[in-house]
Amino acid sequence: MSDIERHFLHSFFYPESVAVVGASSNQKTLNYNFIANLVNLKYRGKIYPVNPNAEEILGMKVYPSLKNIEGNVDLAVISVPVTKALDVLRDCVAKKVKNVVLIPGGFAEIGESGRRLQDEVLRLLRDNGIRAIGPNTLSPINADNNFTVSFRSIKKLPRGRISFIFQSGLYDPRINWLLSEFHMYLSKLIDLGNKMDVNEVDALEYLGQDPETEVIAMHLEGIAGDARELLRLLKRISMEKPVIVLKSGRTEAGAKAAASHTGSIIRASDAVFDAACKQAGVVRAQSLDEFFDLAKIFEYLYPMKGNRIHVSTGPGGEGVLTTDQCYYHGLTMAKLGEEAYNKLRTVFPPWEISANPLDLGICGQFNSGMDVGSVIVDAVAGDENVDCIALQGRIDRFIKPEEFLRVVSETVKRGKPVAIWMTVMPQGENTIVDQMEARRIPVFPSAERAIRALAALHRYYGLREAIRGE
């Protein structure tokens, strides 16, 4: 048994047998998707649907109660109304279930009566050595073995290097968008809900050790465990893996809203938390858009030491705006070496132009038929004065998809970060964006988002080195 297998959370992500209490045979209900996902995504463990009112789900036998199951149950996923939760949990005790995921809301987040019920549940579980995620949760998802707990019919589950820690189902209505349209590659995902038992410290501890997880992205409404322990842990993990944190309840009003949402208590002011994050080497995101953008770029690319960027834009005016964005986010415009400069000049118009930011549009106009985008990336990719590359994707005229994919993909593989943003995001099947992101070339809908994400690769590097130098 490896170290990671000894962590108690391991059996939540890799259960050998799972019972779904409340599984439904009605395709129109959310409770149908638990079993459907396990079957469709080919999860290989034992599956036991439990529902006193159903006989068969997707050809599988349905058990009236947990107690009727013959084999062991590693994990019971409980999706029943809150009023029936205690009864089901007593069945879990009787059945000697190891772990539970408690999905319903109606506990601590609704006030005093819910708090009392949650305390009663916790006592019952503790007395019987059962560990629990939730209540008020939906998870885990594990792309390593295709084990999923979700209300959504999950279309595909591309395996990758990043694991997510959520609180409160923020991701849930977006899960298919995240995996299929936004092209996130996933290792694991856990949603902590009310954090009655399993909390952010447990999740970080596990994912910090998990060899499949190379990047961690965490959404936090409040801190359930010891704040100092959390920060010590974040600091330790950040030395090895980038950790991105989105914390909500940053304002007083937001904190109040969090309290009535998951019963979270925000203990420290946001400024204190912000300073603590920096000391811990954590990359903080300020909004949901930024959180997903950073998650993508850290999954696709690797942290970078330098901050010298090369920028090419379609309309030249966007180069000026983009230069501003670079400086705001701590990047500087690379001064090209002679070789790169001479290569670039081959696509210049018949006069001198700025090499950085480069006006890709004017180059395209004077080199019609040439794949100007590929020439540019190829020219600057080999320059040691350039730490990263950002380019506006003008597929309408100046970029030939096939050659461009090859050149950029090679650049990324050689370890030089490249981010693309599209003038207009193409829609439909198998777009150039799909093709780029299939090769881990991240594509953003605007310059500011591309630059903000790219800059974070350097920001993390700087924070980590500062800690290493302490």
Window 316-335: residues binding a second copy (CB under 8 A): 316-321, 323-328, 332-333
In the window 26-65, what residues touch a second copy (CB under 8 A)?
A: none
In whole angstroms, give the CA distance from residue 441 to residue 408: 7
Residues contacting residue 282 through CB under 8 Å, at least 6 positions apart: 234, 238, 243, 244, 245, 463
Closest C-alpha to 453, from 330, 314, 334: 330
**Residues 300-319 contacting a second copy, CB under 8 A:** 314-319
Which residue lies nearer to a second copy by CB, 75 or 203?
Answer: 203
Site for a second copy in 248-267 (CB under 8 A): 248-254, 256-258, 260-262
Instruction: Using DSSP bridges, classify how beta strands 75-78 and 56-57 pair: parallel, antiparallel or unpaired.
Output: unpaired
Site for a second copy in 151-180 (CB under 8 A): 166-174, 177
Which residues within the stretch 424-443 sit at the binding site for a second copy (CB under 8 A)?
A: 424, 427-428
Q: Do 277 and 125 contact (CB within 8 A), yes or no?
A: no
106 lies in the site for a second copy, by CB under 8 A: yes
Instruction: Select the residue interacting with a second copy from 53, 351, 430, 470 (CB under 8 A).
Output: 351
- 362 interacts with a second copy by CB under 8 A: yes
123: Cα separation from own chain's centroid: 33
Q: Name which of 451, 198, 173 is nearest 323 in CA terms.
A: 451
* DSSP alpha helix (H) spans, 62-169: 85-95, 112-127
Q: Does 135 bind a second copy (CB under 8 A)?
A: no
Q: Which of 64, 71, 330, 349 binds a second copy (CB under 8 A)?
A: 349
Q: Which of 191, 183, 141 is nearest to 158 (CA)?
A: 183
> What does the block give as tokens for 317?
């005016």
Q: How far is the CB of 424 from a second copy (least distance, A)?
A: 4
Q: Give the sign of the dihedral formed by CA 192, CA 196, CA 198, CA 203.
A: positive
CA distance 356 to 326: 12
The least distance separating a second copy from the CB of residue 262, rounded to whole angstroms, comes to 7
% helix / strand / coil in the chain, to the nearest 5? Answer: 45, 15, 40
What is the nearest approach in angstroms of a second copy to the Cβ of residue 432? 15
Q: Which stretch binds a second copy (CB under 8 A): 52-60, 106-114, 127-135, 196-204?
A: 106-114
- Which DSSP letter does residue 355 get? B
Whether residue 135 is preceded by a cis peptide bond, meaning omega within 30 degrees of 0, is yes
Q: Are 417 and 389 in contact (CB under 8 A)?
A: yes
Binding track, positions 388-417, relative to a second copy; x by CB under 8 A: ------x-x---------------------
> Which CB sits closer to a second copy, 101 or 412?
101
Number of residues forming the site for a second copy (CB under 8 A): 71
87 binds a second copy (CB under 8 A): no
* Of residues 180-239, those binding a second copy (CB under 8 A): 181, 219, 221
Q: Binder to a second copy among 49, 114, 134, 263 (CB under 8 A)?
A: 114
- Kindly state whether residue 370 participates in binding a second copy, applying the rule CB under 8 A: no
The correct pick among 54, 353, 438, 467 for binding a second copy (CB under 8 A) is 353
Which range touches a second copy (CB under 8 A), out of 10-18, 47-55, 272-280, 282-290? 282-290
How far apart are CB 64 and a second copy at their closest, in Å?
A: 25
Answer positive or negative: Cα dihedral of 167, 170, 173, 179.
negative
3-state secondary structure of 234: helix
